[in-house]
Amino acid sequence: MTRCMTAVEALELPCSRSVVLPFIWDIQNIERCEVKADRVLVRPAGTGRGSYDVRGRFAGFPWKGRFEYELDDRGFHSRTASYVPICAGACGASCAICAR
């Protein structure tokens, strides 16, 4: 494991909702924006809602989670899903997110 740290800074840039919301509503962009997410698998479940699985590293340790999301006029809201499937390990390609 390398011994380095990544610093993240929040920047506020003026732009209209019509420009920003399509980017935010594309849940797959979590892969690009969330530093601890390496892989994201999105499962839409209807208009403006669904779930996504995330796999990555936090403080050097592997982690994964399943989240449910709802899109709204402010962006989206997500919460930990009540059911997370058990994967066969790292990974044996038995779960959808590790098979990518």
Domains of the chain, with CATH numbers? 17-80 (3.30.530.20)
What whole-number distance in Å separates Cα of residue 46 and Cα of residue 42? 12
What whole-number distance in Å separates Cα of residue 54 and Cα of residue 57? 10
Better pLDDT: 91 or 79: 79
What whole-number distance in Å separates Cα of residue 31 and Cα of residue 76? 15
Lowest mean pLDDT among 7-16, 27-36, 49-58, 61-70: 7-16
Q: What pLDDT is recorded for position 90?
A: 52
Q: What pLDDT is recorded for position 39?
A: 95
Extract the tokens encoding 100.
């990518």
Mind giving me the DSSP string for 40-53? EEEEEEETTEEEEE
What is the phi-psi region of residue 16: left when phi exceeds 0, alpha when psi lies from -120 to 50, beta otherwise? Answer: beta
Predicted confidence band at 100 (pLDDT cuts at 50, 70, 90)?
Answer: very low
Share of the chain above pLDDT 70, in %: 80
Helix and strand counts by DSSP (H, E) for the chain: 2, 4
